[in-house]
Structure 1
């Protein structure tokens, strides 16, 4: 902010930490460190939920004392999709933030008007890195690159934000 409490104006392609919405409103962008922290927290939460569900499904499918993980490839992928959509898409669509984003104080907004992204944008934002991760051998690298791409963008938009038309802002 300036000394007068006004956000700085757009300065070409230079990063200012601010973005102007389609409505003309100016918003303060979330820093990359906060976004990274939120992503790590969300990954831990999703990982724990996924791990518990895998154990429950494997134990339920076994007939003996040991859990049976055979044939779990397709079930694991489907379970991962359900957990990912259930965690990320639902929270972003309804509240504009996941638990990890809430903890670090950031939110996802619709780039045109600053409101909640809605279901389509929330799903699109999740689907880009989520589906990239399914590509054999290089998918995980492409998924990470999708998030890292925000580091060189003027308004800190990763590929998933650009595709969905969203911005990540400070509260």
Structure 2
């Protein structure tokens, strides 16, 4: 039995919509459509939070005031704040409850594939790091990050590369 989820009625690469955890428990996997919907909602939530944090941190700075050097400083800060906001938003929620706001709204949950509990801090951050850091690569990064999520569509237990690396599954809550 795999710690990364194995179908209880294993039939080659056939997808059944179910996985057996390392503990022997059987769980129903979240469908790709629900995962996609949750990701879109999370992107919206993170964008709103990012904009609020950015406005607070930049305060009265005018991003277009190139003479004072504020533009380059503000742009650098904006670039650094994005990944931090995303990591805090997703990392904390997944580590503590296995669910982000978007996942709550779509009725899905991330679990540790070995025992079915919440992923915890290491798996939560590890799961985020794969697409999060890949997306920072100039030009090809965004495409590779999207491919990381899309890779779940051809996996037998709907695990994207980030799920495989962290040892997590996404299930119906």
Q: TM-score, normalised by structure 1?
A: 0.88
**Deviation, structure 1 residue 9:** 2.4
**Residue 15 of structure 1 aligns with which residue?**
15
**What do residues 104-126 of structure 1 show as CA deviations (whole Å, max 9, x unaligned)?**
00000000000010000000000
Report if aligned partners of 1:30, 1:170 keep a CA contact under 8 Å in 2: yes
Question: When the two structures are aligned, how many residues end up with a matched partner?
Answer: 163
Q: Report 1:21-170 matches (<5 A).
A: 21-62=21-62, 69-170=71-172
SS in 2 for 1:54: helix
**Residue 4 of structure 1 aligns with which residue?**
none
Unaligned 5+ runs, structure 2: 1-6
**What do residues 51-88 of structure 1 show as CA deviations (whole Å, max 9, x unaligned)?**
222233333334xx9xx543233312321122111100
**Deviation, structure 1 residue 103:** 0.4
- CA RMSD for the aligned pairs? 2.1
SS in 2 for 1:12: coil
SS in 2 for 1:83: helix
**What do residues 118-156 of structure 1 show as CA deviations (whole Å, max 9, x unaligned)?**
000000000100000000011000000000000000000
- The whole-number CA distance in structure 1 between the counterparts of 2:32 and 2:25 is 22
Report if aligned partners of 2:8, 2:20 keep a CA contact under 8 Å in 1: no
**Residue 3 of structure 2 aligns with which residue?**
none
- The whole-number CA distance in structure 2 between the counterparts of 1:126 and 1:80 is 13
SS in 2 for 1:60: coil
Q: TM-score, normalised by structure 2?
A: 0.87
